[in-house]
Structure 1
């Protein structure tokens, strides 16, 4: 009897356990799914350059950087998120350069006036440094690059105190725009004078109006309030920006205009290889100081030997072109890369060979206006070619490039750039 009773009790307990198991499995499955969503959300925000907290997201771009003028540059920055407000946002950063011993900062905010078109009006005040000859697109700030190796070697900066008001607007799913009105006080950190009508300027005021358009007709986007998630990459992509400088507006000293253009094309092959093409062009007309003209993305430091010049290769820079070697008021660059299918040596060791060819051409009118700094122009075709072997060890690889064509240098070693690469994605 006791044996039968034991069997009945055992069956009841077992039945009850198995009866509860589906619910427990469902709960566990839901919990795992929620945890997975949280992890994906966290990684996605991290990949967009933010470390999320409750009411704000820490901007990873300001934690630590290095360049030749500031040395190590470190600080904190961030932007409020949707839990703080879906209609208002605050953003800013504060950093310190250990070599120049100066603080830089920016404070700003914005408010949304239309949810459907994601239209924001933004205000900002910035006291910082900017690389001379650099030209960025307003819409680029809404996209994040995890690592920018070229920044390590930059040494030519100008200080700017800029007040701006801008309007972000999404015309369609594929067309983003941003318009900005700004006034800046410019003070070069190097010996430079801009001579105009027998007057010499070593610091000056500039007032500008900009409009930038980012068109990605073949991409699929999901716009999430303060950043863009690109669900499907489509190419080609096009970016166009027009800048107008106004003399005598808020004390501005110069009247000039600029037109910048960029297109990127990716061709994915069936054998898992990839070919990329990038075309960038710009033209500046009028009374344009060197601070607002163009370099051609140089990334080579002036040292005697190849090993002394060993540094980090950029993502889209000319590795054999020396910093501050060329400036232009009209220029264009063409870059070609072919990524071969990764070599699967082991499950974790998959190096990838990349062939690279880069070309640049440019001109400079009224070169005698720019005094105190020596540079060349790019009337002849500048060319370099080489290769990279990426992902050899924890994202690190090696790069080799050779300079040839119209600006080939007499000393053979001076035409060679040997560096390491760093590629990481989240």
Structure 2
């Protein structure tokens, strides 16, 4: 492992140092052509990268914090077109000061077709993943200066994953990715998965995943580098299916998962719109808790409202406590109505957002999951609230109230009050 970590650090540092090599006057024309415009530079920062000549440094690995690792810091990056238009290296190494452990990824890829942007990628990852989280392979990179939910997450599982994937663009508006991988899973918490009389504390997963992202109304244009997105339009559809296989080499369970998401915006006028997000998930077969679903809770188990005061997420349930619910089938609906910003001054314009969230789910064979307690969403979960964003330096306030089938006896336990943080580059 230490050899792999050293290799990653040497590769990243070499790219950074080489990209900062002083240029001579004879290179002035090339430097002018290669340098990023201010607009492109800001766009890269907004996507979470600090661009250098050959390597885009990945800002999301610099500083993070969670309940298991404590402070998590490291270095990561991906090579850019100045390094090569046909090959890329995508790696990182981080260290957790509370669990005293290095995590890393060694990855890279090569392009096999330029017109369809077809890439083949290989990776080896030794890291943590939040139990119950579910992501789409085709999702664009999401970056924020800090991730609110991450601060309070304590349910992780270790995984060592070897994967090969193929990215392919069927059209300007239809993206796809196919991945085959094997993972060795070890929960960091007390958990046993009981299947057919055998209890598993650690297990192996062999799986195939296929993800499709369709944005039928996006506006694109053709430039010297190919097709680029000019305007993002709605609705957007994402579908992902995965199958895990039981085999004698690297697979302990057979199970199938399908995930679907649709995002749509209803534009009322120039400054006001409503955003609706529907997400569903279904897991069948012998699926361990690590690969089931939560509903993105973001509330810590503390006695008073002030003790629970933290930072609101973007699409999380603010009144739902961590590790309170898990499902093998679920549906969530989130509605956000953005009201026209209040024009206090030319630059000071707070905005009110009205929010309603609902979740419904359940679980078969709940007795398989041992040494851990949780509830299901069979009664239907509901919360409503509002945000006042950009009150000061990007910070705002959020309030939410839990009602319906999972309303709690104590009034204060149903309330969440938090900061919001919104910065646009």
User: What is the TM-score when the length of structure 1 is the normalising length?
Assistant: 0.89
Aligned pair in 2 of structure 1 residues 217, 72: CA closer, same or farther (>3 Å)? same
1:403 aligns with 2:415: no
Q: Map of 1:165-180 to 2, 5 A cutoff?
A: 165-180=164-179
Larger radius of gyration: 1
Aligned pair in 2 of structure 1 residues 36, 59: CA closer, same or farther (>3 Å)? closer
Residue in structure 1 matched with residue 296 of structure 2 by the alignment: 297
Rounded Cα–Cα distance in structure 2 between residues aligned with 1:40 and 1:124: 32
SS at match of 1:176: strand
Q: Map of 1:236-251 to 2, 5 A cutoff?
A: 236-248=235-247, 250-251=249-250
Preserved CA contact (<8 Å) 2:126 2:159: yes
Rounded Cα–Cα distance in structure 2 between residues aligned with 1:53 and 1:356: 40
Aligned pair in 2 of structure 1 residues 104, 418: CA closer, same or farther (>3 Å)? same
Residue in structure 2 matched with residue 383 of structure 1 by the alignment: 382
Aligned pair in 2 of structure 1 residues 229, 73: CA closer, same or farther (>3 Å)? farther
Preserved CA contact (<8 Å) 1:277 1:336: yes
Rounded Cα–Cα distance in structure 1 between residues aligned with 2:170 and 2:294: 32
Residue in structure 2 matched with residue 82 of structure 1 by the alignment: 81
Rounded Cα–Cα distance in structure 2 between residues aligned with 1:73 and 1:62: 8
Aligned pair in 2 of structure 1 residues 379, 410: CA closer, same or farther (>3 Å)? same
SS at match of 2:376: coil
Aligned pair in 2 of structure 1 residues 48, 249: CA closer, same or farther (>3 Å)? farther
Residue in structure 2 matched with residue 316 of structure 1 by the alignment: 315
Preserved CA contact (<8 Å) 1:70 1:100: yes
1:55 aligns with 2:59: no
CA-based RMSD of the aligned residues comes to 2.0
1:255 aligns with 2:246: no
Report the CA distance between 1:272 and its aligned residue: 1.2
Preserved CA contact (<8 Å) 2:305 2:413: yes
Q: Map of 1:203-242 to 2, 5 A cutoff?
A: 203-221=202-220, 230-242=229-241
Aligned pair in 2 of structure 1 residues 153, 36: CA closer, same or farther (>3 Å)? same
Rounded Cα–Cα distance in structure 2 between residues aligned with 1:396 and 1:269: 26
Preserved CA contact (<8 Å) 1:143 1:228: no
Residue in structure 1 matched with residue 141 of structure 2 by the alignment: 143
Aligned pair in 2 of structure 1 residues 221, 249: CA closer, same or farther (>3 Å)? farther
Spell out structure 1 runs of 4+ moving beyond 3 A: 33-37, 221-230
Q: Map of 1:366-377 to 2, 5 A cutoff?
A: 366-377=365-376
Q: Map of 1:32-181 to 2, 5 A cutoff?
A: 38-140=37-139, 142-147=140-145, 148-181=147-180
SS at match of 1:414: helix
Residue in structure 2 matched with residue 272 of structure 1 by the alignment: 271
Preserved CA contact (<8 Å) 2:148 2:313: yes
Report the CA distance between 1:166 and its aligned residue: 0.1
Report the CA distance between 1:45 and its aligned residue: 1.4
Preserved CA contact (<8 Å) 1:118 1:225: no
SS at match of 2:37: helix
Residue in structure 2 matched with residue 29 of structure 1 by the alignment: none
Report the CA distance between 1:143 and its aligned residue: 2.4
Preserved CA contact (<8 Å) 2:298 2:321: yes
Preserved CA contact (<8 Å) 1:54 1:83: yes
Residues 77-112 of structure 1 deviation map (CA, whole Å, 9 limit, x = unaligned): 001111111101111000011111111000011000
Rounded Cα–Cα distance in structure 2 between residues aligned with 1:225 and 1:200: 57
Report the CA distance between 1:49 and its aligned residue: 1.7
Report the CA distance between 1:363 and its aligned residue: 0.6
Preserved CA contact (<8 Å) 1:179 1:209: yes
Residue in structure 1 matched with residue 359 of structure 2 by the alignment: 360
Residues 316-350 of structure 1 deviation map (CA, whole Å, 9 limit, x = unaligned): 00000000000000000000000100000012211
SS at match of 1:380: coil
Residue ranges of structure 1 left out of the alignment (5+ in a row): 1-32
Report the CA distance between 1:220 and its aligned residue: 2.2
Report the CA distance between 1:59 and its aligned residue: 0.8
Rounded Cα–Cα distance in structure 2 between residues aligned with 1:351 and 1:99: 38
Rounded Cα–Cα distance in structure 2 between residues aligned with 1:86 and 1:404: 53
Rounded Cα–Cα distance in structure 2 between residues aligned with 1:379 and 1:66: 33
Rounded Cα–Cα distance in structure 2 between residues aligned with 1:223 and 1:188: 47
Residues 397-416 of structure 1 deviation map (CA, whole Å, 9 limit, x = unaligned): 00000000000000111000
